[in-house]
Amino acid sequence: MESKVKKKEKENNKKQDKGLTNINFEITREGTLQIINNKSSNKWKNYHFILTGSLILWKKKDSTSFKNSFSVRNAKLEKTTNGIPKNTYGIIITTDQSITIASDKESVIDSWITDLSASITKPQTSVDLKKEQSNMMKAQKKMGSSVATSAAGKKLIKEFLGEEGYSGIKILKRISSGLDGKKKGKEIEEEILRLGVKILLLITNKELSVEEVRKHKGTVLQIFTVLSNFYTFAYEYNAESIQTHTSKLVEETTKTFAPFFSDKNVAAYKDLQGYITSTRFLDYFYTSEETKEYRKQWYEIIKRGKFIMEVNN
Protein backbone atom coordinates (compact mmCIF):
# COMPACT_ATOMS: atom_id res chain seq x y z
CA MET A 1 0.00 0.00 0.00
CA GLU A 2 1.33 3.44 -0.97
CA SER A 3 2.54 5.50 1.98
CA LYS A 4 1.08 8.94 2.73
CA VAL A 5 4.51 10.54 2.15
CA LYS A 6 4.87 9.05 -1.35
CA LYS A 7 1.29 9.99 -2.16
CA LYS A 8 1.98 13.57 -1.13
CA GLU A 9 5.15 13.65 -3.24
CA LYS A 10 3.20 12.48 -6.29
CA GLU A 11 0.55 15.15 -5.72
CA ASN A 12 3.22 17.85 -5.42
CA ASN A 13 4.93 16.66 -8.60
CA LYS A 14 1.64 16.81 -10.48
CA LYS A 15 1.06 20.35 -9.21
CA GLN A 16 4.57 21.35 -10.26
CA ASP A 17 4.08 19.95 -13.76
CA LYS A 18 0.68 21.56 -14.13
CA GLY A 19 1.90 24.85 -12.71
CA LEU A 20 5.03 25.50 -14.78
CA THR A 21 5.63 23.23 -17.75
CA ASN A 22 2.93 24.76 -19.94
CA ILE A 23 4.91 28.02 -20.00
CA ASN A 24 7.19 27.99 -23.04
CA PHE A 25 10.51 28.69 -21.32
CA GLU A 26 13.79 29.18 -23.14
CA ILE A 27 15.78 30.08 -20.05
CA THR A 28 18.66 32.52 -20.55
CA ARG A 29 19.56 32.73 -16.88
CA GLU A 30 18.12 31.69 -13.54
CA GLY A 31 19.14 31.82 -9.90
CA THR A 32 18.47 33.22 -6.46
CA LEU A 33 18.30 37.00 -6.10
CA GLN A 34 16.86 39.42 -3.56
CA ILE A 35 14.04 41.85 -4.25
CA ILE A 36 12.18 44.19 -1.95
CA ASN A 37 9.10 42.39 -0.66
CA ASN A 38 7.44 45.22 1.21
CA LYS A 39 8.29 48.81 0.24
CA SER A 40 6.72 50.33 3.32
CA SER A 41 8.92 48.28 5.65
CA ASN A 42 11.88 47.94 3.23
CA LYS A 43 11.96 44.16 3.61
CA TRP A 44 14.07 42.19 1.12
CA LYS A 45 13.52 38.50 0.39
CA ASN A 46 15.17 35.78 -1.66
CA TYR A 47 13.30 34.49 -4.73
CA HIS A 48 14.14 32.21 -7.63
CA PHE A 49 14.46 34.40 -10.75
CA ILE A 50 14.15 33.31 -14.37
CA LEU A 51 15.08 35.34 -17.45
CA THR A 52 13.32 34.11 -20.59
CA GLY A 53 13.48 36.32 -23.67
CA SER A 54 12.93 39.84 -22.35
CA LEU A 55 10.79 38.67 -19.47
CA ILE A 56 11.86 38.23 -15.82
CA LEU A 57 9.71 36.06 -13.57
CA TRP A 58 10.23 35.23 -9.92
CA LYS A 59 8.78 32.86 -7.37
CA LYS A 60 9.54 31.22 -4.06
CA LYS A 61 12.01 28.39 -4.55
CA ASP A 62 9.58 25.48 -4.16
CA SER A 63 6.44 27.28 -5.33
CA THR A 64 4.43 26.20 -8.37
CA SER A 65 3.22 29.77 -8.95
CA PHE A 66 5.11 32.93 -9.86
CA LYS A 67 4.92 35.89 -7.52
CA ASN A 68 5.41 38.45 -10.29
CA SER A 69 6.84 39.20 -13.72
CA PHE A 70 8.54 42.19 -15.35
CA SER A 71 9.25 42.93 -19.02
CA VAL A 72 12.75 44.35 -19.61
CA ARG A 73 12.04 45.32 -23.21
CA ASN A 74 13.57 48.79 -23.84
CA ALA A 75 14.72 48.92 -20.20
CA LYS A 76 17.66 50.87 -18.81
CA LEU A 77 20.06 49.11 -16.43
CA GLU A 78 22.04 50.70 -13.61
CA LYS A 79 24.40 48.87 -11.29
CA THR A 80 24.08 50.14 -7.73
CA THR A 81 25.06 49.68 -4.10
CA ASN A 82 22.54 52.26 -2.85
CA GLY A 83 19.16 51.53 -1.31
CA ILE A 84 19.82 47.80 -1.03
CA PRO A 85 20.88 45.50 1.83
CA LYS A 86 24.37 45.98 3.28
CA ASN A 87 27.19 44.09 1.52
CA THR A 88 25.15 43.41 -1.61
CA TYR A 89 25.26 44.59 -5.21
CA GLY A 90 22.19 45.49 -7.21
CA ILE A 91 20.68 46.32 -10.60
CA ILE A 92 18.02 48.96 -11.07
CA ILE A 93 15.89 47.95 -14.07
CA THR A 94 13.79 50.85 -15.38
CA THR A 95 11.04 51.02 -17.99
CA ASP A 96 7.94 53.10 -17.19
CA GLN A 97 8.26 51.34 -13.81
CA SER A 98 11.35 50.10 -12.03
CA ILE A 99 12.52 47.19 -9.91
CA THR A 100 15.79 46.58 -8.11
CA ILE A 101 17.31 43.12 -7.70
CA ALA A 102 20.34 42.32 -5.56
CA SER A 103 22.89 39.65 -4.69
CA ASP A 104 25.71 39.34 -2.17
CA LYS A 105 28.00 38.31 -5.06
CA GLU A 106 29.09 41.00 -7.49
CA SER A 107 29.97 38.38 -10.13
CA VAL A 108 26.33 37.18 -10.10
CA ILE A 109 25.05 40.72 -10.68
CA ASP A 110 27.58 41.27 -13.48
CA SER A 111 26.40 38.08 -15.19
CA TRP A 112 22.76 39.16 -14.93
CA ILE A 113 23.65 42.58 -16.38
CA THR A 114 25.36 40.89 -19.34
CA ASP A 115 22.38 38.64 -20.09
CA LEU A 116 19.81 41.37 -19.45
CA SER A 117 21.66 43.72 -21.79
CA ALA A 118 21.68 41.05 -24.50
CA SER A 119 17.93 40.46 -24.02
CA ILE A 120 17.19 44.19 -24.21
CA THR A 121 19.17 44.79 -27.41
CA LYS A 122 18.25 41.54 -29.19
CA PRO A 123 15.95 42.23 -32.20
CA GLN A 124 12.55 40.62 -31.64
CA THR A 125 10.40 39.09 -34.33
CA SER A 126 6.60 39.05 -34.16
CA VAL A 127 6.90 35.38 -33.11
CA ASP A 128 9.20 36.37 -30.20
CA LEU A 129 6.77 39.06 -29.06
CA LYS A 130 3.79 36.69 -29.21
CA LYS A 131 5.72 34.07 -27.22
CA GLU A 132 6.68 36.64 -24.58
CA GLN A 133 3.11 37.92 -24.29
CA SER A 134 1.84 34.34 -24.03
CA ASN A 135 4.32 33.55 -21.25
CA MET A 136 3.42 36.73 -19.38
CA MET A 137 -0.30 35.98 -19.65
CA LYS A 138 0.18 32.42 -18.39
CA ALA A 139 2.35 33.65 -15.52
CA GLN A 140 -0.20 36.31 -14.60
CA LYS A 141 -3.04 33.80 -14.65
CA LYS A 142 -1.07 31.67 -12.18
CA MET A 143 -0.25 34.72 -10.06
CA GLY A 144 -3.92 35.67 -10.01
CA SER A 145 -4.92 32.16 -8.95
CA SER A 146 -2.35 31.93 -6.16
CA VAL A 147 -2.78 35.47 -4.85
CA ALA A 148 -6.55 35.81 -5.21
CA THR A 149 -7.84 34.28 -1.99
CA SER A 150 -4.71 34.93 0.07
CA ALA A 151 -4.23 37.80 2.51
CA ALA A 152 -2.17 39.56 -0.19
CA GLY A 153 -5.06 39.28 -2.64
CA LYS A 154 -7.57 40.68 -0.18
CA LYS A 155 -5.20 43.51 0.63
CA LEU A 156 -4.82 44.31 -3.08
CA ILE A 157 -8.60 44.46 -3.52
CA LYS A 158 -9.02 46.57 -0.36
CA GLU A 159 -6.39 49.06 -1.55
CA PHE A 160 -8.23 49.44 -4.84
CA LEU A 161 -11.84 49.50 -3.59
CA GLY A 162 -11.27 50.93 -0.12
CA GLU A 163 -12.80 49.43 3.03
CA GLU A 164 -16.30 50.50 2.02
CA GLY A 165 -16.04 48.98 -1.45
CA TYR A 166 -14.59 45.76 -0.07
CA SER A 167 -17.50 45.48 2.36
CA GLY A 168 -19.74 45.18 -0.72
CA ILE A 169 -18.07 41.84 -1.48
CA LYS A 170 -18.76 40.73 2.09
CA ILE A 171 -22.44 41.63 1.67
CA LEU A 172 -22.71 39.50 -1.48
CA LYS A 173 -21.07 36.68 0.47
CA ARG A 174 -23.62 37.00 3.30
CA ILE A 175 -26.58 37.13 0.92
CA SER A 176 -25.29 33.99 -0.85
CA SER A 177 -24.78 32.29 2.53
CA GLY A 178 -28.31 33.16 3.65
CA LEU A 179 -29.75 31.85 0.41
CA ASP A 180 -27.64 28.74 -0.25
CA GLY A 181 -25.47 28.13 2.81
CA LYS A 182 -22.02 29.21 4.02
CA LYS A 183 -20.18 27.06 1.48
CA LYS A 184 -21.84 28.93 -1.39
CA GLY A 185 -21.13 32.26 0.28
CA LYS A 186 -17.44 31.46 0.53
CA GLU A 187 -17.39 30.24 -3.08
CA ILE A 188 -18.91 33.51 -4.32
CA GLU A 189 -16.48 35.62 -2.29
CA GLU A 190 -13.48 33.66 -3.60
CA GLU A 191 -14.66 33.91 -7.20
CA ILE A 192 -15.08 37.70 -6.94
CA LEU A 193 -11.62 38.02 -5.38
CA ARG A 194 -10.03 35.70 -7.95
CA LEU A 195 -11.41 37.60 -10.93
CA GLY A 196 -10.79 40.98 -9.29
CA VAL A 197 -7.13 40.22 -8.59
CA LYS A 198 -6.59 39.01 -12.17
CA ILE A 199 -7.95 42.30 -13.53
CA LEU A 200 -5.92 44.41 -11.07
CA LEU A 201 -2.72 42.52 -11.95
CA LEU A 202 -3.35 43.17 -15.63
CA ILE A 203 -3.72 46.90 -14.92
CA THR A 204 -0.73 46.98 -12.55
CA ASN A 205 1.49 45.24 -15.11
CA LYS A 206 0.31 47.62 -17.86
CA GLU A 207 -1.15 44.81 -19.95
CA LEU A 208 -4.59 46.34 -19.63
CA SER A 209 -4.86 50.12 -19.65
CA VAL A 210 -7.01 52.08 -17.23
CA GLU A 211 -8.64 53.71 -20.29
CA GLU A 212 -9.82 50.30 -21.54
CA VAL A 213 -11.53 49.72 -18.20
CA ARG A 214 -12.95 53.25 -18.00
CA LYS A 215 -14.81 52.89 -21.29
CA HIS A 216 -17.33 50.74 -19.40
CA LYS A 217 -18.02 53.53 -16.92
CA GLY A 218 -21.33 54.58 -18.54
CA THR A 219 -22.82 51.10 -18.19
CA VAL A 220 -21.63 50.83 -14.57
CA LEU A 221 -23.26 54.18 -13.78
CA GLN A 222 -26.55 52.93 -15.28
CA ILE A 223 -26.38 49.89 -12.99
CA PHE A 224 -25.61 52.06 -9.95
CA THR A 225 -28.60 54.30 -10.77
CA VAL A 226 -30.95 51.31 -11.06
CA LEU A 227 -29.68 49.83 -7.78
CA SER A 228 -30.02 53.18 -5.98
CA ASN A 229 -33.61 53.48 -7.17
CA PHE A 230 -34.36 49.96 -5.93
CA TYR A 231 -33.60 51.14 -2.39
CA THR A 232 -34.92 54.71 -2.56
CA PHE A 233 -38.18 53.78 -4.26
CA ALA A 234 -39.28 50.27 -3.32
CA TYR A 235 -41.75 50.19 -6.21
CA GLU A 236 -38.80 50.55 -8.62
CA TYR A 237 -37.52 47.04 -7.82
CA ASN A 238 -37.50 44.99 -10.99
CA ALA A 239 -35.16 42.00 -11.36
CA GLU A 240 -35.35 42.12 -15.14
CA SER A 241 -34.05 45.70 -15.20
CA ILE A 242 -30.80 44.87 -13.36
CA GLN A 243 -30.41 41.67 -15.38
CA THR A 244 -30.56 43.62 -18.64
CA HIS A 245 -27.96 46.17 -17.56
CA THR A 246 -25.54 43.67 -15.99
CA SER A 247 -25.78 41.37 -19.02
CA LYS A 248 -24.78 44.35 -21.18
CA LEU A 249 -21.82 45.10 -18.87
CA VAL A 250 -20.64 41.48 -18.89
CA GLU A 251 -20.91 41.33 -22.68
CA GLU A 252 -18.86 44.55 -23.04
CA THR A 253 -16.20 43.68 -20.47
CA THR A 254 -15.82 40.11 -21.71
CA LYS A 255 -14.55 41.55 -25.00
CA THR A 256 -12.01 43.62 -23.05
CA PHE A 257 -10.84 40.75 -20.82
CA ALA A 258 -11.04 37.90 -23.35
CA PRO A 259 -7.43 38.26 -24.64
CA PHE A 260 -6.19 37.86 -21.06
CA PHE A 261 -8.73 35.40 -19.63
CA SER A 262 -8.85 31.68 -20.27
CA ASP A 263 -12.15 30.16 -21.44
CA LYS A 264 -12.56 28.89 -17.88
CA ASN A 265 -12.18 32.42 -16.48
CA VAL A 266 -14.71 33.83 -18.95
CA ALA A 267 -17.19 31.07 -18.03
CA ALA A 268 -16.64 31.74 -14.30
CA TYR A 269 -17.22 35.46 -14.86
CA LYS A 270 -20.52 34.82 -16.66
CA ASP A 271 -21.61 32.22 -14.09
CA LEU A 272 -20.93 34.71 -11.27
CA GLN A 273 -23.04 37.37 -12.98
CA GLY A 274 -25.76 34.82 -13.63
CA TYR A 275 -25.94 33.83 -9.96
CA ILE A 276 -25.88 37.27 -8.29
CA THR A 277 -28.40 38.71 -10.77
CA SER A 278 -30.73 35.71 -10.82
CA THR A 279 -34.35 36.54 -9.94
CA ARG A 280 -34.08 34.20 -6.94
CA PHE A 281 -31.00 36.02 -5.58
CA LEU A 282 -32.35 39.52 -6.25
CA ASP A 283 -35.79 38.75 -4.77
CA TYR A 284 -34.12 37.50 -1.57
CA PHE A 285 -31.80 40.52 -1.44
CA TYR A 286 -34.40 43.21 -2.20
CA THR A 287 -37.61 41.87 -0.71
CA SER A 288 -36.72 39.65 2.26
CA GLU A 289 -37.00 41.05 5.78
CA GLU A 290 -33.84 39.08 6.68
CA THR A 291 -31.70 41.20 4.33
CA LYS A 292 -33.10 44.61 5.23
CA GLU A 293 -29.93 45.77 7.02
CA TYR A 294 -27.73 44.55 4.15
CA ARG A 295 -29.86 46.54 1.69
CA LYS A 296 -29.22 49.68 3.69
CA GLN A 297 -25.44 49.06 3.74
CA TRP A 298 -25.46 48.17 0.04
CA TYR A 299 -27.30 51.38 -0.81
CA GLU A 300 -24.67 53.49 0.99
CA ILE A 301 -21.87 51.73 -0.92
CA ILE A 302 -23.64 52.18 -4.28
CA LYS A 303 -24.50 55.82 -3.54
CA ARG A 304 -20.86 56.57 -2.65
CA GLY A 305 -19.54 54.74 -5.73
CA LYS A 306 -21.98 56.57 -8.01
CA PHE A 307 -20.98 59.93 -6.53
CA ILE A 308 -17.24 59.26 -7.04
CA MET A 309 -17.78 58.15 -10.66
CA GLU A 310 -19.91 61.20 -11.46
CA VAL A 311 -17.41 63.61 -9.89
CA ASN A 312 -14.57 62.03 -11.88
CA ASN A 313 -16.54 62.04 -15.13
pLDDT by residue, tens only, the chain of 313 residues = 445 544 544 444 444 333 444 455 678 899 999 998 766 567 899 999 989 888 888 888 877 677 888 888 889 999 999 999 999 999 999 987 889 999 999 999 999 999 999 988 877 665 565 566 555 555 555 554 555 555 666 777 777 778 878 899 999 999 999 999 999 999 999 899 888 888 887 777 667 787 888 899 999 999 999 888 888 876 678 999 999 999 999 999 999 988 888 888 899 999 999 999 999 999 999 999 999 999 999 999 998 888 888 777 6
Evaluate if pTM is beyond 0.85.
no
Positions of CATH 1.20.1440.160 in the chain: 149-311
> Please, are residues 272 and 193 in contact by the beta-carbon 8 Å criterion?
no
CA atoms of 74 and 119, how far apart (whole Å) = 9
Beta strands 76-80; 68-71: pairing state: unpaired
Instruction: Classify 95 as helix, strand or coil.
Output: coil
3-state helix, strand, coil in the chain (%, to 5): 65, 15, 20
Q: Which fold has domain 149-311?
A: de novo design (two linked rop proteins) (1.20.1440)
Instruction: State the CATH architecture for 4-15+22-124.
Output: Roll (2.30)
Positions of CATH 2.30.29.30 in the chain: 4-15+22-124
Radius of gyration of the chain, Cα coordinates, nearest whole angstrom: 23
Q: What is the DSSP letter of 60?
A: -
CA atoms of 289 and 174, how far apart (whole Å) = 14
Task: Give CA angle at 296 (295, 302), nearest 5°.
Answer: 85
